Structure 1
Amino acid sequence: MEQTGAREEDPLAGAPRVRVPQQADARGRRTVRRSSVRGQILDALRAALVGGDLAPGEVYSAPALGERFGVSATPVREAMQQLAVEGAVEVVPNRGFRVTERSSRELAELAEVRALIEVPVMLRLARTVPAARWAELRPLAEATAREAASGDLARYAESDRAFHGAVLALSGNQQLVQVAGDLHRRSQWPLVSGPVAGRRADLVADAAEHMALLDALAARDLAVVSALVGEHFTGSGG
């Protein structure tokens, strides 16, 4: 059993309680759809990781987090197990889950791998995709700019992944989109030192690169595309 006292202070004080989806069974009784609850908890935990609400090196118990989200410990534990598979947390027997402590070196390695995968793809897309298709992605780039201005790390991370996913989706390779998306998500987890002061300015600069990238892709300027993607991955938001 996980001990609920693994962390005394409330890591998610003020967090909204998760709305538990329900459906009627054959007798008309309301039953909880566990898979939907688990998915919502997983999304909420990922947002908490990106936003720094779950601190690197700290141990959190499923019962305590479940109480905060207004659900049982079971979907929280299942969501945490998924995060353990992804490397975001590690299981601590009889206590709960410890948020993985990441280094700047790991972040640099992720940026290198992402560049190796995505730069060639984007250069190919720059040669083949009509300018009108890139124009269709401008609302996604504009959304990242709005979220960056708000300074909300979790919401920016979500919009950032949506933009990059939409760009790579033009390749028609769903395996690429999935692999790149997983690497992208891992690159957004906080470092050991936690969120950096002045993060909003970093996010605004990162979002601006999205617009510049679309312009370069539409113009088929391969040199600028290559430079922007490489710099983007080594920046703050990615």
Structure 2
Amino acid sequence: MDAYIAAPPGAPVAPPGKPPLPVRPRSLPERHSVRAQVLAALRDALAGGQLAPGEVYSAPALAERYGVSATPVREAMQQLASEGAVETVPNRGFRIAGHTARDAAELAEVRAALEVPAIMRLARTVPPERWDELRPLAEATVTAATLGDRAAYAEADRCFHRALLRLTGNRQLVLIAEDLHRRSQSPATSRPLPGTAELLADALEHAALLDALRRRDLPAAQQLASEHFTGV
């Protein structure tokens, strides 16, 4: 079930009978443009399954749904197209791309190739107490998973992995890994959207990984990190 919160002053409001534009909780940085809010809303809709793979959506129709003009919707959709989440359909709009089982496996393999070695380097150098700083982010993924909120889980999951990789000090690694992460969160054409149990299992792996990293159990950390991406 989608959850919406009250929009801050100045935020776009949908017409009567139309779903409101999702607004991030106040604890997160505020969006400073309509385009950014629309982009966030579309990403939530993708993660939550409200925009179905293979379906074509026009910018005017989405603009009416979110109570904004078509321009920021087109701009947001172009951003999503650059990320591979949608495809431009001339004279019609944008088709939700989705990904196949092969796409998912390849993305998981590439993410593992980037993140697992980085995590293992951190495991050898980061003081144990630093891992406690990531606990609230790991707990946020569990909370979202328990609620079955796929959109909230997608963002919490990215926040956790982003914070972990930032410990490397490698900005390019963080940017590339996050792009791959977003792509991996696109809806799949080959399987149903993850349910609460699947989300929760994935979320609990974050805490288990932090436990292993804190006690500097390198074999356990490597196994947990690898399984988190590949599932094997």
TM-score with structure 1 setting the length: 0.83
Of 60, 64, 70, the match for 1:67:
64
Q: Equivalent residue of 1:172, what SS?
A: coil
User: By how many angstroms is 1:136 displaced?
Assistant: 1.2
User: By how many angstroms is 1:195 displaced?
Assistant: 3.5
User: By how many angstroms is 1:15 displaced?
Assistant: 2.7
Cα deviations by residue, 1:93-137 (Å, 9 ceiling, x for unpaired): 100000003101100000000111111110010000011100111
The answer to whether the aligner puts 1:205 opposite 2:201 as a matched pair is yes
- Structure 1 segments (4+ residues) deviating >6 Å: none
Larger radius of gyration: 1
User: By how many angstroms is 1:16 displaced?
Assistant: 1.4
> How far apart are the structure 2 equivalents of 1:91 and 1:189?
16
- Asked whether the 8 Å contact 2:88–2:94 carries over to 1, the reply is yes
User: By how many angstroms is 1:193 displaced?
Assistant: 4.3
The answer to whether the aligner puts 1:134 opposite 2:131 as a matched pair is yes
Aligned to 1:171: 168
- Asked whether the 8 Å contact 2:112–2:230 carries over to 1, the reply is no
Of 20, 34, 47, the match for 1:16:
20
Aligned to 2:75: 78
- What are structure 2's unaligned runs of at least 5 residues? 1-16, 24-30
**RMSD, aligned α-carbons:** 1.7
Of 210, 215, 222, the match for 2:218:
222
User: By how many angstroms is 1:220 displaced?
Assistant: 1.4
Q: Equivalent residue of 1:226, what SS?
A: helix
Q: Equivalent residue of 2:94, what SS?
A: strand
> How far apart are the structure 1 equivalents of 2:173 and 2:119?
12
Q: 1:72 to 1:194 in 2, by over 3 A?
A: farther
Letter in 2 for 1:175: Q
Letter in 2 for 1:49: L
> How far apart are the structure 2 equivalents of 1:94 and 1:209?
44
> How far apart are the structure 1 equivalents of 2:192 and 2:40?
19
- Identity, % of aligned positions: 66
Q: Equivalent residue of 1:91, what SS?
A: strand
Cα deviations by residue, 1:75-98 (Å, 9 ceiling, x for unpaired): 000100111111111110100000
- Asked whether the 8 Å contact 2:49–2:193 carries over to 1, the reply is no
> How far apart are the structure 2 equivalents of 1:203 and 1:178?
24
- Asked whether the 8 Å contact 1:90–1:97 carries over to 2, the reply is yes
User: By how many angstroms is 1:229 displaced?
Assistant: 1.3
> How far apart are the structure 1 equivalents of 2:229 and 2:43?
20
- Asked whether the 8 Å contact 1:42–1:80 carries over to 2, the reply is yes
> How far apart are the structure 1 equivalents of 2:188 and 2:131?
33
- Asked whether the 8 Å contact 1:51–1:195 carries over to 2, the reply is no
Cα deviations by residue, 1:192-219 (Å, 9 ceiling, x for unpaired): 146436x100011111100000011111
> How far apart are the structure 1 equivalents of 2:153 and 2:22?
20
TM-score with structure 2 setting the length: 0.86
The answer to whether the aligner puts 1:186 opposite 2:183 as a matched pair is yes
Q: Equivalent residue of 2:95, what SS?
A: strand
The answer to whether the aligner puts 1:55 opposite 2:59 as a matched pair is no
Aligned to 2:33: 36
Q: 1:74 to 1:18 in 2, by over 3 A?
A: farther
User: By how many angstroms is 1:35 displaced?
Assistant: 7.2
Q: Equivalent residue of 1:217, what SS?
A: helix
